[in-house]
Each structure stands twice: as structure tokens, then as C-alpha cells.
A and B are shown apart, each in its own frame.
Chain A
């Protein structure tokens, strides 16, 4: 047993380096933060959100009945009766004026509205399904942005059931009312969604989100995979150079240090691109098979498509983020002592690649608090991950800002890498620097470097 303990202790000591412990702590903190953010989103999504109502059938009996019933649904779901007008907001916009309705919805901070057709009550009285139109403002968020569609549909579904019960009770023997009408007295087939300032008919946020997810979620996944892959390649390459004792020979060859750095960067970038292409093809088939049955929406019909310029920008961002990742990996790689240590060193890069992927996937940039946006902006891998969405929705400030930041970040990383390659740290490690030696002296007692 003591032998077992002895070996176990030795292994633990080798595996649980300060770098490894730090990585574990960072991963744990990251997961906690994402959990808090997602929890907030789930709470928001599960709340009954406010709804705007345009009553084109002002004199009608059934529209008033429907509005009163909707208010009752809210009160039954925990809304205070005194606050009901904040949840069920009667809009001033004219029925049929789509732009005015959407403008008022946005102005009053709502995300959706319903509008009663002027003939709503008349149609129902005549045994024809009364029309309620649904208005949405598409909010480019994470997975939970699709819930706006669901709230409208659920509410109208309640009204439909309520009216159905009422009509069946009163008119069960009325030959003018068909059974089909009695079961579905509300026609809710008209959907109008504002996308980037244009109102489109026949589409809901749910349909947009599910289709978008199939396309835009692929990019963050692929970027994350590429970054983790190339991170591992570069750092392991440095670990191998040190473990195989080939680095010193390489550094005394008659070539510039920048050439060595560039060669390593180029090879890893090419491998990264090959990985990226392979994963992109695989993911396209995979995501295609998942989403094809959900929604057959062609996003280009709603102005949500990328043109050549957009693809070029996306390509630039992916390339720059790979360069940034490589720069960071070269810096981390400079501090690894061997292949084993290299495996641990890839953790920070993996974590940095995972944070924006999860946040963008579940929460979305727009719903983050300002501090969250700042943190996400600083992480270079965020920019290509959200570029496709931003390009589709025309948020060029974030796209161009991201490109500028990535250029600065990549150049800074490469400059630091070249500086490290020209310094002693590459061979001696951080342990020989004045700061670390002083730190070890203070906190490490007798163990400080001799």
C-alpha cells in the first residue's frame, strides 16, 4: 500500500502542476458564470412576457372578450391585477399599419403583439374563424430567443380553447357552425416578423432561430475545434522540441528567429485550416440532418444571407483568430518543459475558446451585461464566432471593431512571441527570471532556485 501511495503521490505531483490547478479553477469558474447566465436566460424565457394588442375590432364583443381573457391568463400566472396594463398593453397604432405597430412594439419595449382583425367578432358570429395576426420583433439572441414566438402562440391557443368552449356550449346544435369552426374559432395563421427593420409576412422568430442555428452555430463549434486542435499542435510541438533537445540546435542555425516563429505558425495554421475544412464539411451534413426537418425557411428571402464581401470578412476574422490563437500558443509553448506539460498548457486556450462558444450559443451578445460584453470582446475567439450573425443582421460596428481588435491582438502576440524567442526565457524558463526567483524566495522557503 505504501508503494502504491508513493507512486500515486509522485504521479499527482507531476500532474497537478500550478498550471493544471489554475486551468481546473478557470474551467470551474467559467462553468459557474455560464450557469448563472443561462439560468437568467431560462428564468426570462419561462416568464410570461408582455404583449401588445391592436384591436381593429374595437366595437366587437369577441375581441373585448379575448382581451379580458388574456388579462385573466396573466393574472392566473401570478401577475398583479394592478400591473396588468404593463403586461397586456393596448397599442395606439392603426390596424394594418405594420410599420407603426412594430415601431410601437419596440418603443414600448415589447417583443411581440397581436392584432384583432376589424371583422373578428363579425366573422365569429357568422361561423367563420376570426383572424388574430401575430407581430414579432426578431431579437438576435441565443437559443432562448425563440421563446417570443411560443408566448404568442400559447396565448392565442388559450383564447382559441376558451372561445371554442363558449361557442360549443351555446351553439352545439346550430347548423350554421361547423364542427371545424367550433373547434378552431380563431385563425392565427398570419405571422409578421420585423427583421432588421423590414416586416416580413409568414415567418416567426422560432423559424428564423432554428434555421439560423443550423448555420451560425456551426461556426462557433468549428472555430472552437480548430483553436483547440492547433493550440494542442503548437504547444506540443514546443514541448517536443524541448523534450527531444532539438530547440537549442534550431536556435543556433543561421536563420532569423522570426523565420522559426513564422514557420511554426504557418505549418500550424495550415493544419488548422485543414481541420477546419474537414469539420465544416462534417458539421454541415450533421447540422443539416438535424435542422432540415424543423424549418424549411430560406433565410435569403428575409435578407439574412451573406454576400461575397461578408464571406471575405468572415474568412479574414477566422484567419486572424487562428493567428491570435497561434500567437498565444507559441507564448504558452515557450514555457512548457516537455510533452506532458504541453498537454496541460492547452487548457487555458481550450477554456478561452469554450467561453464565447457557450455564451453565444445560449445567451447571445445582445443580452449580456456590459461587463460580460467587455470580457467577451477581449477574448479574440469571440469575434469570428459571432461574425456570421453580425454580418447577417448588419451589425458592422462589431464586425469591423472585431477585425481591428484581432489585428492588434495578433500582432501583439506575434511580437511577444518573437521577443520571447530572442530572450533567455525559451531555454531557461520563467524560473530564472528575477520576479519568479524573488517570489519563490518569499513563498517557497528553501526550495527557491539555486
Chain B
């Protein structure tokens, strides 16, 4: 694995009014890695992902994505990242194909755009339903379409928030396969999840966030050994309660 850093988060704070949601977190993600950010509700996961993706301003600290500073070079960061928010939706009046075409317009023209859309349709794998209106899609179909949208421009860095949340076993499995495949093709993936099983089988490394602080980080195996636990769920409980 290439050891260059795709993401470096250094002493990042995020303050909303008088509440500090993120309290000086630091971690890094290597290129081609699938990195999991885990933690309970309200721990600061989504806020962290939103800061990385230029959606929220950083109160203090620095975030560097593939050599670009998020604060100073937000436009450059947006060119190389792809963000899939939790419960994201698509424009309901469009068909799956026209949604992918609309999104591809922002990344390429002409043949390149056509190739991008073709790739998106392949990733979504929705068969002839790709030409149905988005508002007729099931949650699983919608998620596949959105993952296809996120991956088709070949981003360097993909950020996915609760990517399989609410999906059935089969859909969740297929989506995890897609994520593994894109990582194999060199895309760095940062995911957040509540699902410890998913994180354990999918991520190369993880960081656990609680009350705005990183409480532990490492590979799933290292963490299980460190806390003498049989799975990440146990690690999490021990880390939070100790």
C-alpha cells in the first residue's frame, strides 16, 4: 500500500455558538485506504466529514486533502473529492440516467462525460429502472444510484456518511463490495458508521470519536488486541466507559 497521506486532520476544533462539537481531533488517512470514523450519535462524525468536504468551516486547526488545504483551497478540494451524505437524495423529477447526466456535466464534457455516465450506469446496476423517475426507487436503488454518482467521476478521495444505513443485508453487502472495488482501484475512502460489524470487515483502519474527541485509532485487529475484545463493538464500549 502506498503510504502517502490522502488526508491529514490536525488539531481540528468546531464550535457552534457556545458548544464545541469537535474538540481538537487529529488523524490521517493513507492513499488507497478505507478508513472508518466510528462513534455514537452526536459524537461529531458528520461534523468532521462536513468540514473535510468543505461544507462547514473549521473553527481552528487544519485539514489537508491530497495536498490541498480545505480552508484555503476549498475549490481545489471539491475537484478531487466526492461526498455521499447520510440519507442523501436525488432530484425526484429526474430519471436515474438524467440525474447521472446532470451530475456528470460538472466534471466533464462530450465523450468524457458520456463515458462517465456509462460508468455510473454500470456501477448503479439498476437495469432498465435507470430510466425510471428517481422518486419511484426503493431505498437500496436510491443508494446505489447515489454511490454511482459519487464514484463515476473517479474522485481521489470519497467520503461516505452512514453509507449502508437502513439497507437490507443484500443491498448493504453489494454496496460494501462496490466500496472495496473502488479502493482497489486507488480511491481513498473515508466512511462513518454506527455499524461496527461493517467497519470491522470493510476498513483497513479506524478512528473512534466520542464527545468530539478521538478516543482511539488503529487497525481493527490492533484495537481488538489492545482492549482484549472479540469485536469492535466490545472495543467501543470499553473505550468509551473506561
B81 within 8 A of A: yes
Chain B residues, CB < 8 A from A424: 16, 56-57
Q: Chain B residues near A256: list those with CB within 8 A.
A: 75
**A88 on the interface (CB 8 Å rule)?**
no
With A249-B88, A254-B79, A256-B75 known as contacts, the answer to whether A433 contacts B50 (CB < 8 A) is: no
What B residues does A423 contact at CB under 8 A? 57
Pair A438/B17 contact, Cβ less than 8 Å = yes
Given the complex of chains A and B, what is the CA–CA distance between A256 and B83 in angstroms?
Answer: 16
Contacts of A434 in B (CB 8 A): 17-18
In the bound complex, CA of A255 to CA of B106 (Å) = 7
Per-position binary interface string of chain A over residues 58-89, scored 1 when its CB falls under 8 Å from any chain B CB and 0 otherwise: 00000000000000000000000000000000
Given contacts A244-B90, A427-B50, contact A252 B18 (CB under 8 A): no
How distant is the Cα of A427 from the Cα of B19 in the complex, in angstroms? 16
- Judge whether A150 is part of the interface by a CB distance below 8 angstroms: no
Taking CB atoms and an 8 Å cut-off, the chain B residues in 71-112 that contact chain A are 75, 78-79, 81-85, 87-92, 103, 106-107
How many angstroms from the CA of A253 to the CA of B104 in the assembled complex?
10
Question: How far, in whole Å, are A434 and B42 apart by their CA atoms in the complex?
Answer: 19
- A245 adjacent to B18 (CB under 8 Å): no
User: Is the C-beta of B216 less than 8 angstroms from some C-beta in chain A?
Assistant: no
- Give the distance to chain A from B50, nearest Cβ to Cβ, in Å: 7
Q: Which residues of A contact B50 (CB under 8 A)?
A: 248, 427
Per-residue 0/1 for B122-141: is the Cβ within 8 Å of any A Cβ (1 yes, 0 no)?
00000000000000000000
Question: For B106, what are the chain A residues with a Cβ–Cβ distance below 8 Å?
Answer: 253-255
Query: What is the number of residues of chain B that contact chain A, defined by CB distance less than 8 Å?
Result: 30
Could you tell me the dominant secondary structure of chain B's interface residues? loop
Contacting residues of chain B (19-64) with chain A, CB-CB under 8 angstroms: 19, 42, 50, 53-57
On whether the beta carbons of A246 and B53 are closer than 8 Å, the reply is no
Chain A: residues with Cβ within 8 Å of the partner, total of 25
Among residues 419 to 450 in chain A, which have CB atoms less than 8 Å away from a CB atom of chain B? 423-424, 427-428, 432-438, 441, 449-450
Name the A residues within 8 Å of B91 (CB-CB): 244, 246
Give Cα A179 to B41, complex, Å: 99
Question: Across the interface, which residues of B come within 8 angstroms of A246, CB to CB?
Answer: 88-91
Contact mask for chain A residues 225-239; partner B; CB cutoff 8 A; 1 contact, 0 none: 000000000000000
Q: How far is the CA of A437 from the CA of B18 in the complex (A)?
A: 7
A248, B85: Cα distance in complex, Å: 7
Q: CB-nearest residue of chain A relative to B59?
A: A424
Q: Contact at A252–B89, with CB atoms within 8 Å?
A: no
Chain A residues close to B by CB (< 8 Å)? 244-246, 248-249, 251-256, 423-424, 427-428, 432-438, 441, 449-450
- Nearest first, the 6 A-B pairs at minimum CB distance are A437-B17, A434-B17, A432-B16, A244-B89, A252-B83, A254-B79
Can you identify 26 A-B contacts, CB atoms within 8 angstroms?
A244-B90, A244-B91, A244-B92, A245-B85, A245-B87, A245-B89, A246-B91, A248-B88, A249-B83, A249-B88, A251-B54, A252-B53, A252-B54, A252-B82, A252-B83, A253-B78, A254-B75, A254-B106, A423-B57, A432-B17, A433-B17, A437-B17, A437-B19, A438-B17, A450-B19, A450-B42
